[in-house]
Structure 1
Amino acid sequence: MKHHVTVGVDGSPESRAAARWGAREAALREVPLRLVHAVDWLISPAIPGLGREGADRWADEALTEALEDVRRLNPGLEVSTRCLAGRPAAALAAEAADAALLVLGSRGMGGLAGFLVGSVSMSTLAATETPVALVRVASEAEKTRPTPYGEIVLGVDIHEAADKVLAFAFEEAARRGCALRAVHGWKMPSMYQYAPFFDPENEREVGWSVTQMLDDMLLPWRHKFPSVSVTHQAFMGPAGRQLVQAAAGADLVVVGRHLRRSPLGAHLGSVAHAVLHHAAAPVAVIAHD
């Protein structure tokens, strides 16, 4: 069993937000929090005016600042820090191998609500099978909102048996004592494009069938987690766009990504990619076969 939550910190506002979110998650799970910072000595000495001594001091300050902040907000939480040497993505992935969750900060896209997912985050996603949560800096309204947890939105593909994704979402909802909304986007089968005329009844029948499949997929998880209030919606249209719209106001969005053994790319599907870049809420990405 994995017994801690790991957060990557680098002194930025995004990483401080990630540390706070990760601390709250660790307290919720009743597990320790581990704050880690990775220094790549092949790159850091090339930064003008920094040098190895300066980089060490900067790493210590980033970890100390995050440590003091989360301890102030979570006085009973067990927190440790580690400074790692190596490429950040590889070091974070290795460090997260025995963690229940890896939390990273992501930069907001200016006036657009969403994430700017950098190369480190994308590379880390590709390198680890550990669930990864990406957290942006909270707005002032979000900082002052009541403490109870809000709704979790789950992106579901009814054509895949992604039990790890469903398990994470239901377990998280059960821990938080909050509602779970499962969302699936669908489109008409390609054969209907060649029909000589459009019959609205066909669309209604396909929509009913998709909704029933979604309900059937959720049924065993409803039984396993009877305390979780679950709703589900099947929208006709691009799944990524529908999920982003459904996630407006959510406390957390959960999506899956396929595990692939190729070393190239982060292997995010179009839905996960859309949610990572455009959803306003923190996003948990769960790797599955």
Structure 2
Amino acid sequence: MSRPIVVGVDGSPESLAAAEWAAREAVRRDLPLHLVHASEWSPERASSQAAGVVRRHVGQGVLRRAKDRIARFCPDMWITDEQVEDLAVTALSNAARRAELLVVGSRGLSGFTGFLIGSVAQTLAARAPGPVVLVEAGERAEDEHLPDEDGNSSLRTPYRDVVVGIDLGAACDDVIDFAFEAARSRGARLHALHAWSDTDSVALGPGEPAVGEGPAPEEEWRGLLTMVLHNWRDKYPDVDVVETVVKGGAGTHLVRAGSGAGLLVVGRRARESHIGPHTGPVTRTVIHHARCPVAVVPHD
């Protein structure tokens, strides 16, 4: 049986938007959808049997609202669900081990401060064993599509680009494959972006000159990006790919590229550092400031 797309729901606008996004992704990938509600039970909060009944009743209501929301645009979708009496991070991390993809809502702020994620979403982005997609409140199906010729939102227009950040110093198959598959399932263009600085260089092999140290570093990086993506173009011949090489901070450039995208894909190292699981500065910048759904894909 196919592994499901799992979405965490708590009744918030962010989680309901995440549930809708997850349902659309399940349709695109032809995968089952599984909703998880965590009651945030802990020994300190444990009390009477009546309190447990109330928690379960509230959880049933949260799951029902999420399913009703999904049914508005996908009435025939088969959805499974469960309530877990545990902390949300623990419950969703465990569910992610059985999932193809975990989807959670993010706490969005309007104005100039950008996209601030809650502690649960931030922890899952850093710790979950598989890909995690973060979705803002208010995200709609139309937002994944380009505007029509009059500038209006539409479901009939092509999908917006999928943008993927590629670190050519440590290009990761898992991140690239996720991005190509996301573009393929949407019939969208893939925008692959690499950002470089004067201190960056990559050795291609013993005795070979390092990329980035020659007289035309940008052209060298562009050639390396093309080489890295060559096999993926062969694997996904129907995906139109545009490559961009820019100088400067990767996080800033990815946020800018994601402003017109339908999905922004970034990676994070799965190995823990001495300070525990973390996302790294580029991914952290993206998940705090991007204005579209963000997929964080772990890699070695």
Q: Which of 182, 194, 201 is 1:172 aligned to?
A: 182
Alignment of 1:217-236 (within 5 A): 217-236=228-247
8 Å CA contact 1:67, 1:81 repeated in 2: no
Paired letter, 1:78: W
Are residues 44 and 101 of structure 1, via their aligned partners in 2, closer, same or farther at CA, if it must alter by over 3 Å? farther
Paired letter, 1:31: L
Q: CA deviation at 1:138?
A: 2.6
Alignment of 1:204-243 (within 5 A): 205-243=216-254
1:25-55 deviation digits (Å, cap 9, x = unpaired):
00111111111101222278489xx943332
The question of 1:152 aligning with 2:191 is answered: no
Q: CA deviation at 1:263?
A: 8.3
* Residue matched to 1:194: none
8 Å CA contact 1:113, 1:280 repeated in 2: no
Indicate the SS of the match to 1:109.
coil
CA distance in structure 2 between the aligned counterparts of 1:255 and 1:285, rounded to whole angstroms: 5
* Residue matched to 1:76: 76
Alignment of 1:159-198 (within 5 A): 159-189=169-199
The question of 1:283 aligning with 2:294 is answered: yes
Structure having the larger proportion of residues in helix: 1
Paired letter, 1:184: H
8 Å CA contact 1:41, 1:52 repeated in 2: no
CA distance in structure 2 between the aligned counterparts of 1:142 and 1:218, rounded to whole angstroms: 28
Q: Which of 236, 258, 269 is 1:247 aligned to?
A: 258
1:189-220 deviation digits (Å, cap 9, x = unpaired):
279xxxxxxxxxx8860111111111111111
TM-score by length of 1: 0.88
Q: Which runs of 5+ in 2 are unaligned?
A: 145-151, 202-212
Paired letter, 1:149: Y
Alignment of 1:64-143 (within 5 A): 64-112=64-112, 114-138=114-138, 142=143
Q: CA deviation at 1:128?
A: 1.9
Alignment of 1:249-268 (within 5 A): 249-261=260-272, 264-268=275-279
Identity %: 40
CA distance in structure 2 between the aligned counterparts of 1:281 and 1:34, rounded to whole angstroms: 23
Q: Which of 262, 269, 275 is 2:280 aligned to?
A: 269
Matched residue pairs, number?
277
Are residues 139 and 117 of structure 1, via their aligned partners in 2, closer, same or farther at CA, if it must alter by over 3 Å? closer
CA distance in structure 2 between the aligned counterparts of 1:242 and 1:16, rounded to whole angstroms: 29
TM-score by length of 2: 0.85
1:78-104 deviation digits (Å, cap 9, x = unpaired):
111110121211110111111111000
Q: CA RMSD in A?
A: 2.5
Are residues 251 and 190 of structure 1, via their aligned partners in 2, closer, same or farther at CA, if it must alter by over 3 Å? closer
8 Å CA contact 2:162, 2:263 repeated in 1: yes
8 Å CA contact 2:272, 2:278 repeated in 1: no
